Amino acid sequence: MGSKRLGLARMEALLENLKREIALGVGTTLGGQKRLTVLATANTTLTTADSGKLYIFNDADGAVLTLPDSGGGDIIGWYIDVAIAVTATSNAHKVICSDTSNEDMVGNFTSVDTDTSDAVACWPAVQGDGYDFVSFNGGTTGIMGTTCRITNIKADLWQVDGSHVGTGTVATPFGST
């Protein structure tokens, strides 16, 4: 077959045209991988590039994460996980929709009240409720150990599933502006 040399420009073009998807077969494992994690200590507007990250609220001053606008329907499947890793806050930690007039959050938090014999409650959210944020105040709406996943499931609709740990008279983490 002879030797055929490829120039650098041609090699770059070939590499750029490759699919960017890796299909892993049955039994394939990955080791030594670490999840992209962000310590949420300041107000941040998230982008489509932030999908799949774990955001940890670990600052007592509170922070707000603003979700990307899902109105175009082009980010279905975009998600983040949120964890509370602080015992008390002076301001609530919050995850809010970008378009609070049109976007809604639906889903459920299963709650454990650590003050009253570990009483269990559920905090559902249906689209008619008009919820557009979740808030964790270091007490009644979420203390250390509270977690949730927020997923865009259709244009202007976010699914929130979480496990809520609270103290005092526990309340729903869902809210609306």
Written as tens digits, the pLDDT of the chain (177 aa) is 566 777 888 878 877 777 667 777 888 887 888 889 999 999 999 999 999 999 999 988 889 999 999 999 999 999 999 999 987 777 889 999 999 999 999 999 999 999 877 889 999 999 999 999 999 998 889 999 999 999 999 999 999 999 999 988 899 999 999
CA angle at 122 for the pair 69 and 36, rounded to the nearest 5°: 45
Length, in residues, of the chain: 177
State residue 12's pLDDT score: 81
Q: Which residues lie across from 148 on neighbouring strands?
A: 82, 162
CB distance 174 to 131 below 8 Å: yes
CB distance 100 to 163 below 8 Å: no
Under DSSP, is residue 12 helix (H, G, I), strand (E, B) or coil?
A: helix
Domains of the chain by residue range: 35-175
User: What are the distances in angstroms from CA 54 to CA 38, 61, 82?
Assistant: 6, 19, 6
State residue 42's pLDDT score: 93
Which string of b and e fits 60-95 if b means at least 16 CB within 10 Å? eebbbbbbbbbeeeebeebbbbbbbebeebeebbbb
pTM (whole model) above 0.75: yes
